[in-house]
A and B are shown apart, each in its own frame.
Chain A
């Protein structure tokens, strides 16, 4: 399959390892990955902040970039950005009176998948250790980001993939479904409430005794990780794609306090 990678702006600029891990996983499965060069951002920061006029060129750019190449499906390592591409892009085009763009945006959205959706529903990955050679000998916990959970209904796709990684130990996160408090510009406009939500999330994470918290959205991980760092915690965050990409030969690097599990479950 020819797969177009939508890296998303935050991964592109701040977490390139997440995109490289995504490429690695897909190539290991024998697929061809392309990176449409015109891509930049889904625009949800603008949309969610009410700046629809400013969002329009961002949306139009995304649609153009993902029309420029031939491919079977597009994929992004982010539930939130995929939800934006699928749901917000046609809405913004409609609101700004561009019905042509609305139809084109809907067509691009239709072909776009979140990474775990693509892996599980389209590519049939159910056992990461067996199918991808994934090996990650750490105790982790997992935060399901709101947009993946509620807008895309990802269910336990990400968690199921993580569970099937060799050597991994998964600690259940209490109140996992509670928002981490990020919410884009909410974290600045309502910094006090956002910080109170974050404090509860990080307390729950630290209570699990995990080395790191995995998730599927770089922005939430930036938020949670930023809070843990400020609190001086040794616990870090990592995108699930990087855990899936990790192998015995090429293990992912974990920053922070690292404890290896015994690797009992390694295959």
Chain B
């Protein structure tokens, strides 16, 4: 950080990089829904992993207590983040590591590139990491003449195909085996031309390719799942062991980590190492967990760096309703249970972070007014499956609603494009009218007087099949039944006026059941 005090920095500093939607979500979703390969793969993969997760989670009698502990630890971290970061920095530095602070993606990229150049290297091996994707590190390094090789198998497939990951845990979830074989044949130098699409053969081809890189690379770049403030330790949780190779073989190790990954103490790992593998891969324990604390003389990397990334996290932290999105441990459980994600896949969300968490985290990091990110909080039916699955109990539906409110408010009384006064949308007008109709029993009663008109509109088929404007979205796949002849309110009033008369029968019993009473919309109730 700059040593000169230039007054208060302007706040908030929002995130930049691969955090944006480039078109509104409904448009992207429309395109992705047409990709039948993607839908079949995703449907199969998410269902399998959902069931695995459920099985290993139900084994633990204290799962709910673990979730609560995870939530509480993360909440306390957010409450004392500055203090914990300083404690971490002191410990990490004392053990021979070097800390770099990056305000945003641009700063982080420049720091990493300079560190690589200091080693005289022009290629690096990479451990699968969300943070480096968020900042667009690979693309930046390429511009700088530095080649970055992904070593996670799925990440490698996506990289070789010049594609983007579609799932944070299974980045190549949208590709099938024969597609992977074709990519390898096309992109890997010296690969066996008779390569088949057998998983074992594909893995062997990838292994041979990666082994060459592990042995030659001088610099590795990683992310981190956790950082422990009390010891200055970093942790990477993975399945394949390729991460372990990167973390141990090269001379220089550069880690990029969001500031929210911190945990107060070593024993907190006990909670998170139970929550994370079960929630993400549906395993009781992941195969490889690597922990390192600064530099160990003559063992492993001798130059150890950590870039602590803000990129909008302080802005998210300042949002009282939204800040718990920073509790996320990137397990991907919320994606695997999300009915929207299951059908659209990760690309529809634009950002590095897809699915339910992406729909809140991306706009929180960039600010709700950034590019098309204001369409993301609407990419949910608010079914709540994500909240139930989240190992750190992030109330994603509530935050989605909160961000919708921010979006609506951000447009109130604002000038529209080209400086003109923004005209109220159909939605604005509809909501205003509905607010009037629904804020008193009298008004609603008046509106209900129009029900016969709806019956008229429905015609002899007793259904409405085409509506104009935004409501056309409804009638694209759904009819509306003809409304009833009278509302409940009208029936009740008649019934109770009659009751008030001295000779009237008392019960509403008979009227409440039977033919007359079970009138759902569309059934005749009164002549």
- Interface set of A (CB-CB < 8 Å, partner B): 7, 9, 11-21, 23-25, 27-28, 33, 35-41, 43, 45-55, 57-58, 60-61, 65, 95, 146-147, 150-151, 177-179, 181-199, 222-223, 225-227, 229-230, 237-239, 242, 245-247, 249-253, 255
Please determine whether A188 and B435 come into contact, CB atoms closer than 8 angstroms: no
B201 at the interface (CB under 8 A from A): no
Interface string of B449-482 (1 = CB under 8 A from A): 0010000000000010100001101101111110
CB contact under 8 A between A12 and B463, given known A65-B441, A190-B379, A251-B514? no
B117 at the interface (CB under 8 A from A): no
- Interface set of B (CB-CB < 8 Å, partner A): 25-26, 29-30, 33, 339-340, 343-344, 377-385, 387-388, 401, 403-409, 412, 427, 431-432, 434-435, 437-444, 447-448, 451, 463, 465, 470-471, 473-474, 476-481, 483-484, 486-489, 491-492, 507-515, 517-523, 525
Residues of chain A within 8 A (CB-CB) of B381 are: 146, 179, 181-183, 186-187, 194, 197
Please determine whether A245 and B517 come into contact, CB atoms closer than 8 angstroms: yes
Please determine whether B481 and A225 come into contact, CB atoms closer than 8 angstroms: yes
Residues of chain B within 8 A (CB-CB) of A253 are: 515, 518-519, 523
What are some 30 contacts across the A-B interface (CB < 8 A)? Answer: A9-B438, A13-B487, A15-B484, A16-B519, A17-B517, A20-B491, A38-B442, A41-B438, A46-B431, A47-B401, A50-B407, A51-B408, A54-B431, A58-B438, A150-B385, A150-B387, A150-B388, A179-B385, A184-B382, A190-B379, A192-B26, A193-B29, A230-B479, A237-B520, A245-B512, A246-B513, A247-B513, A252-B514, A253-B519, A255-B522
Please determine whether B384 and A151 come into contact, CB atoms closer than 8 angstroms: yes
Overall SS of chain B's interface: helix
Partner pick for A179 among B30, B383, B488, CB 8 A cutoff? B383
Please determine whether B379 and A21 come into contact, CB atoms closer than 8 angstroms: no
Question: Bound complex: CA of A182 vs CA of B525, how far in Å?
Answer: 27
Give the distance to chain B from A76, nearest Cβ to Cβ, in Å: 12
Partner pick for B444 among A9, A20, A25, A54, CB 8 A cutoff? A9
CB contact under 8 A between A23 and B515, given known A17-B523, A225-B481? no
Please determine whether B483 and A14 come into contact, CB atoms closer than 8 angstroms: yes
Residues of chain B within 8 A (CB-CB) of A12 are: 444, 448, 487-489
Residues of chain A within 8 A (CB-CB) of B484 are: 14-17
Residues of chain B within 8 A (CB-CB) of A35 are: 489, 492
Please determine whether A41 and B444 come into contact, CB atoms closer than 8 angstroms: yes
Question: Bound complex: CA of A38 vs CA of B438, how far in Å?
Answer: 10
Question: Bound complex: CA of A222 vs CA of B471, how far in Å?
Answer: 14
Question: Bound complex: CA of A122 vs CA of B473, how far in Å?
Answer: 41
Residues of chain B within 8 A (CB-CB) of A199 are: 477
Residues of chain B within 8 A (CB-CB) of A189 are: 26, 378, 470, 473
Please determine whether A146 and B384 come into contact, CB atoms closer than 8 angstroms: yes
Residues of chain A within 8 A (CB-CB) of B431 are: 45-46, 49, 51, 54
Question: Bound complex: CA of A128 vs CA of B42, how far in Å?
Answer: 42
Please determine whether B380 and A186 come into contact, CB atoms closer than 8 angstroms: yes
CB contact under 8 A between A188 and B474, given known A14-B484, A251-B514? yes
Residues of chain A within 8 A (CB-CB) of B444 are: 9, 12-13, 40-41
Please determine whether A193 and B435 come into contact, CB atoms closer than 8 angstroms: no
Residues of chain B within 8 A (CB-CB) of A238 are: 518, 520
Partner pick for B343 among A27, A197, A250, CB 8 A cutoff? A197
CB contact under 8 A between A24 and B517, given known A186-B378, A226-B479? yes
Please determine whether B343 and A245 come into contact, CB atoms closer than 8 angstroms: no
Give the distance to chain A from B245, nearest Cβ to Cβ, in Å: 40
Please determine whether A229 and B441 come into contact, CB atoms closer than 8 angstroms: no
Please determine whether A183 and B521 come into contact, CB atoms closer than 8 angstroms: no
Partner pick for B488 among A16, A52, A249, A255, CB 8 A cutoff? A16
Residues of chain B within 8 A (CB-CB) of A250 are: 510, 513-515, 517
Residues of chain B within 8 A (CB-CB) of A184 are: 382
Give the distance to chain A from B397, nearest Cβ to Cβ, in Å: 9
Residues of chain A within 8 A (CB-CB) of B486 are: 16
Residues of chain A within 8 A (CB-CB) of B511 are: 20, 24
Give the distance to chain B from A136, nearest Cβ to Cβ, in Å: 10
Please determine whether A39 and B441 come into contact, CB atoms closer than 8 angstroms: yes
Residues of chain A within 8 A (CB-CB) of B339 are: 178-179, 181, 197
Question: Bound complex: CA of A12 vs CA of B447, how far in Å?
Answer: 11
CB contact under 8 A between A17 and B509, given known A188-B474, A229-B479? no
Question: Bound complex: CA of A249 vs CA of B517, how far in Å?
Answer: 13
Give the distance to chain B from A181, nearest Cβ to Cβ, in Å: 6
**Beyond A21-B512, A147-B384, A186-B381: 13 further Cβ-contacts under 8 Å?**
A16-B484, A20-B491, A24-B517, A27-B507, A49-B427, A51-B435, A52-B405, A61-B438, A146-B381, A179-B385, A192-B30, A193-B26, A245-B517
Give the distance to chain A from B55, nearest Cβ to Cβ, in Å: 16
CB contact under 8 A between A11 and B438, given known A17-B519, A21-B512, A253-B515? no
